[in-house]
């Protein structure tokens, strides 16, 4: 089983698009403590996917090698679920922060619509 065409896609999928500077990393870590955990889970998932993709011919593998392959695939599935859950949790935390920030900061305009067509003047 060769995964080389998709192997690059997996590697690109798990690469971060964020800047690599120490300042940016420190800022991200302070903002989201789950980011290092997610990075670790994604790295383990990447390693397991590489192990699976290194399998040349499944029919030629021994029973023991197939059992190892099964364990690796099971681990990869658990890691993928964990990564997805972490991402969901991080996204919901970010959404909650943005909502709280918007609620605590008044709009820039001088009037606010109360939703019933009534406008209130800001002071």
Phi, psi of 25, rounded to the nearest 5 degrees: -65, -40
Query: Which of 46, 53, 75, 48 lies closest to 1 in space, CA to CA?
Result: 53
pLDDT per position as a tens digit, 11-67: 444 444 444 544 444 454 445 789 999 999 999 999 999 999 999 899 999 999 999
Query: Which of 95, 92, 90, 99 lies closest to 28 in space, CA to CA?
Result: 90
Per-domain boundaries in the chain? 4-121
Model-level pTM? 0.57
């Amino acid at each position: 089983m060769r995964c080389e065409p998709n192997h690059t896609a997996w590697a690109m999928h798990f690469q971060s698009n964020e800047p690599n500077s120490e300042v940016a990393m420190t800022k991200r870590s302070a903002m989201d403590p789950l980011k290092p955990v997610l990075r670790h889970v994604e790295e383990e998932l990447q390693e397991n996917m590489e192990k699976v993709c290194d399998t040349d011919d499944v029919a030629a593998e021994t029973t023991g090698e197939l059992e190892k392959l099964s364990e690796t695939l099971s681990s990869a599935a658990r890691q993928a679920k964990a990564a997805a859950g972490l991402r969901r949790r991080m996204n919901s935390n970010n959404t909650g922060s943005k909502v709280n920030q918007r609620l605590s900061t008044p709009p820039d305009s001088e009037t606010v619509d109360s939703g019933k067509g009534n406008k209130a003047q800001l002071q």
